[in-house]
């Protein structure tokens, strides 16, 4: 395409956008002009209705037998009262699902970071209180595993080695994984576009590395659900996984007391079940 054609195409597009903007401005002007007589007519009608109010009604005494009294106003609520009542109802009513299911990606950054997946579910007892259960799987990479009968209770981390190491013949290289499962209460604050929550979950964690161990663990933190549709939301959750493995040893970091804090991030799709309770 030559430079002249490119310039002509650019000018044509510029002209089309200019005409579109001009049309938008004209539509707004026409709309404002059309709405002005309607507003004036509404104000005139309101003044006419005020003129029908009897002196007794102005003084606060309403007599249904008074011919000047507009009986329709005695039977029907005014527009202002309807707006106030409907606004109060909308403000006091918040719809929330009976339950929700989450499925997505999980990450944790402990001594050895891991990536994986997770799923969970919750049942809402009230608008703000629910019971939640959560499961996560993390792949920690490859490392060394002790053959049965050698060095029990010690976790060793080395760079990847062949399946059998000539220096340490009692260990083999294998996949190393972590599983976290916990349940507990969840407190939520609901708005229409976003639901914020915090939770404290108790359960256990299994670390399948140099040898397989399962110990008590807890998760605490919170997150937010961003509404996509009436039945779908996107969740971002950040928690601290506290694990307790007595005698845990990492040869790169040295021995610790057994308590380990891992930052965990979950994100994924939330499916909401039920509603209008």
DSSP for the chain reads --HHHHHHHHHHHHHHHHHHHHHHHHHHHHHHHHHHHHHHHHHHHHHHHHHT--HHHHTT---TT-TTS-HHHHHS--HHHHHHHHHHHHHH-----SEEEEEEEEEEESSSEEEEEEEEEEEESSSSEEEEEEEEEEEEEEEEEEPTTSSTT-----S---SB-SS-TTEEEEEEEEEEEEEEEEEEEE-SSEEEEEEEEEEEEEEESSSEEEEEEEEEEEEEEEESSSSEEEEEEEEEEEEE-TT-EETTTEE--SEEEEEEEEEEEEEEE----
pLDDT of residue 225: 94
Of 264 and 30, more confident = 264
What is the residue whose two structure tokens read 């507003």? 39
Between CA 11 and CA 20 the distance in angstroms is: 14
pLDDT band at 93 (very low <50, low <70, confident <90, very high): very low
DSSP states of 71-118: HHHHHS--HHHHHHHHHHHHHH-----SEEEEEEEEEEESSSEEEEEE
pTM summary value: 0.53
185 — pLDDT class (breaks 50, 70, 90): very high
pLDDT (0 to 100) of residue 173: 55
14 has a pLDDT exceeding 60: no
Instruction: Give dist(CA 185, CA 239) in Å, integer.
Output: 14
* Lowest-confidence segment of 75-89, 195-209, 223-237 by average pLDDT: 75-89
Share of residues in the chain with pLDDT > 70 (%):
46
User: Cα–Cα distance between 82 and 77 in angstroms, integer?
Assistant: 6
Q: How big is the CA angle at 202 (ends 196 and 207), to the nearest 5 degrees? A: 115
């Amino acid at each position: 395409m030559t430079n002249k054609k490119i310039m002509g195409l650019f000018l044509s597009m510029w002209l089309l956008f200019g005409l579109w903007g001009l049309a938008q401005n004209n539509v707004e002007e026409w709309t404002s002009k059309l709405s002005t007589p309607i507003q004036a007519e509404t104000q005139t009608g309101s003044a006419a209705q005020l003129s029908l109010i009897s002196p007794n009604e102005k003084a606060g005494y309403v007599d249904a037998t008074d011919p000047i009294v507009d009986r329709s106003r005695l039977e029907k609520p005014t527009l202002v009262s309807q707006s106030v009542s409907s606004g109060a109802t909308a403000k006091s009513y918040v719809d929330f699902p009976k339950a929700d299911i989450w499925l997505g990606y999980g990450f944790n950054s402990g001594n050895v970071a891991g990536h994986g997946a997770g799923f969970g579910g919750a049942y809402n007892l009230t608008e703000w209180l629910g019971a939640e259960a959560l499961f996560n799987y993390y792949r920690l990479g490859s490392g060394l595993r002790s053959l049965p009968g050698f060095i029990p209770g010690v976790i060793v981390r080395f760079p990847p080695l062949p399946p059998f190491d000539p220096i340490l013949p009692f260990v083999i290289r294998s996949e190393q994984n972590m599983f976290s499962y916990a349940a507990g209460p969840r407190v939520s604050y609901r708005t229409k576009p976003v639901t914020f929550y915090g939770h404290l979950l108790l359960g256990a964690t299994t670390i399948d590395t140099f040898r397989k161990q399962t110990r008590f663990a807890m998760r605490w933190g919170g997150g937010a659900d961003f509404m996509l549709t009436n039945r779908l939301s996107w969740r971002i959750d950040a928690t601290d996984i506290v694990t307790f493995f007595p005698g845990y040893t990492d040869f790169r970091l040295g021995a610790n007391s057994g308590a380990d804090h891992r930052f965990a991030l979950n994100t994924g799709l939330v499916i909401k079940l039920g509603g209008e309770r």
